[in-house]
């Protein structure tokens, strides 16, 4: 009892800059997370001093970005974080000074601290270390992916090991505190969304992440169902296709809506197809172009690769609204002749050619999903777009081609799931 009172008296610290010592119980040097998740629920963060509230928040724990929303009356509201943004990068970093960084602060320092900056970890939730996709991911990221005592894929940073659930918990804590700052009271109830194809192990790992963050997870719901709700389709009848291409995963779901009840008729997808893969394709192109023009291979230079990765991501976003963009990276490296600079003009058509094989990979799951649902393309009443990658014009073209109709664009694809 005395311990509980003492903990409640502690002022909570900002999750974007908390000493790692505050999270000692979350390191891989302790017992594995799969046996201690309940204990960690009370240890992951100091208790909030805000008055207790009964609000239930909705959290979209994404591969690239996460989002939190709350009901205000009958309308959902997406809450801005402490940086003023409506989405928070799902990035966690451990600085050399012993600080834990989450979100924008973590992403900002990735160039100078690539080996201790963890991103895209949702792809590893519930995955085994020996999984071929895990082995593929290990070759594409600057941080270490290691084998856990139980054979799962874990992450290593600053000499400590963390499960993907623990990293997810740091992001969830940031979302929890974002909601608390807006509401002015503590929040401990949440609904968290997951891809429709997540298996039981992945769903449980997501629930564990919520417990570690101090959240009572009321329900784990499917992202396509949440997206359909955000489009206001609960008052409609018919068949809806939800095309969700996010930062790390792609899934397609066919929902039947009848009397306000959502039934998932079929779902399909690719757990390793998303914005990260588009970024990797651009990264490989930039490395090969620089080697061709300068004769220098940047593939082993982690600092240069991180700069290229960020520049490629920025170019990808710009090309959704413009026909070409410039990638300028001064002092990317140096040799005996002096400093070297990278300057490349990237057109939308060139970008589309680089990622066309990835976009093409969305077609087969869509066809399989329609077949599994036992319906034809003509029977689909509406197509919804979810996930930031659906902003790419070529992706929208392919969706229209697959389903024979233009997709709905009435809701921000980055916020649709959290609002639902």
pLDDT in tens, 125-150: 989 999 998 998 998 899 999 999 99
Domains of the chain, CATH where assigned: 2-219 (3.30.420.40), 232-273+361-413 (3.30.420.40), 275-356 (3.90.640.10)
Q: Are strands 189-194 and 216-222 parallel, antiparallel or unpaired?
A: parallel
Which among 152, 177, 223, 313 is annotated as catalytic?
223
State yes or no: is 223 an active-site residue.
Answer: yes
Residue 217 scores a pLDDT above 60: yes
State yes or no: is 122 an active-site residue.
Answer: yes
CB 68 within 8 A of CB 90: no
State yes or no: is 279 an active-site residue.
Answer: no
349 vs 76: CA distance, rounded Å: 38
Helix (H, G, I), strand (E, B) or coil at 230: helix
Average the pLDDT over 335-347 and give the result.
Answer: 91
Residue 1 scores a pLDDT above 70: no
Q: What is the pLDDT of residue 22?
A: 39
331 vs 192: CA distance, rounded Å: 43
Helix (H, G, I), strand (E, B) or coil at 409: coil
Which among 60, 208, 251, 414 is annotated as catalytic?
60
C-alpha dist (Å) from residue 228 to 50, 256, 302, 384, 415: 34, 10, 41, 7, 12
Which among 137, 244, 279, 414 is annotated as catalytic?
244
State yes or no: is 340 an active-site residue.
Answer: no
pLDDT in tens, 278-320: 999 999 999 999 999 999 999 989 999 999 999 999 999 999 9
pLDDT in tens, 360-399: 999 999 999 999 999 999 999 999 999 889 999 999 999 9
Confidence of residue 6 (pLDDT cuts 50, 70, 90): very low
Q: What is the pLDDT of residue 196?
A: 82
Confidence of residue 408 (pLDDT cuts 50, 70, 90): confident
Residue 92 scores a pLDDT above 90: yes
Which among 107, 122, 176, 340 is annotated as catalytic?
122
Give the pTM: 0.80
Q: Is 260 left (phi over 0), alpha (psi -120 to 50) or beta?
A: left
Residue 2 scores a pLDDT above 60: no
């Amino acid at each position: 009892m005395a311990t509980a009172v003492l903990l409640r008296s502690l002022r909570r610290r900002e999750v974007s800059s908390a000493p790692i010592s505050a999270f000692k119980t979350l390191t891989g040097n302790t017992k594995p997370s799969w046996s201690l998740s309940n204990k960690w629920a009370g240890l992951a963060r100091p208790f909030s001093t805000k008055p207790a509230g009964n609000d239930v928040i909705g959290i979209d724990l994404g591969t690239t970005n996460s989002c939190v929303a709350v009901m205000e009356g009958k309308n959902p509201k997406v809450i801005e974080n402490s940086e003023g943004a409506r989405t928070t990068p799902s990035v966690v970093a451990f600085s050399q000074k012993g600080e834990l960084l989450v979100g924008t602060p973590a992403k900002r320092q990735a160039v100078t601290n690539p080996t201790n900056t963890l991103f895209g970890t949702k792809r590893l939730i519930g995955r085994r270390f020996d999984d071929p996709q895990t082995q593929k991911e290990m070759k594409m990221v600057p941080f270490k992916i290691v084998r856990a005592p139980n054979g799962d894929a874990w992450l290593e940073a600053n000499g400590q090991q963390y499960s993907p659930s623990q990293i997810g918990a740091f992001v969830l804590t940031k979302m929890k505190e974002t909601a608390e700052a807006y509401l002015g009271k503590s929040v401990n109830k949440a609904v968290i969304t997951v891809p429709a194809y997540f298996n039981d192990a992945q769903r449980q790992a997501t629930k564990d992440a919520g417990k570690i963050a101090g959240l009572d997870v009321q329900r784990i719901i499917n992202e396509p169902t949440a997206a359909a709700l955000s489009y206001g389709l609960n008052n409609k009848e018919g068949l809806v296709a939800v095309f969700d291409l996010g930062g790390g995963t792609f899934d397609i779901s066919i929902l039947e809506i009848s009397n306000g009840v959502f039934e998932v008729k079929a779902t399909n997808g690719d757990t390793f197809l998303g914005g990260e893969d588009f970024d990797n394709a651009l990264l490989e192109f930039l490395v090969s172009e620089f080697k061709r023009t300068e004769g220098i291979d940047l593939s082993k230079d982690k600092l240069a690769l991180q700069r290229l990765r960020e520049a490629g991501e920025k170019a990808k976003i710009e090309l959704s609204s413009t026909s070409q963009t410039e990638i300028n990276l001064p002092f990317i490296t140096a040799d005996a002749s002096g400093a070297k600079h990278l300057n490349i003009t990237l057109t939308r058509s060139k970008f589309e050619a680089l990622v066309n094989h990835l976009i093409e990979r969305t077609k087969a799951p869509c066809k399989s999903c329609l077949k599994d649902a036992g319906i034809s393309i003509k029977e689909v009443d509406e197509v919804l777009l979810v996930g930031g990658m659906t902003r790419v014009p070529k992706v929208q073209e392919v969706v229209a081609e697959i389903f024979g109709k233009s997709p709905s664009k009435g809701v921000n694809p980055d916020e649709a799931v959290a609002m639902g």
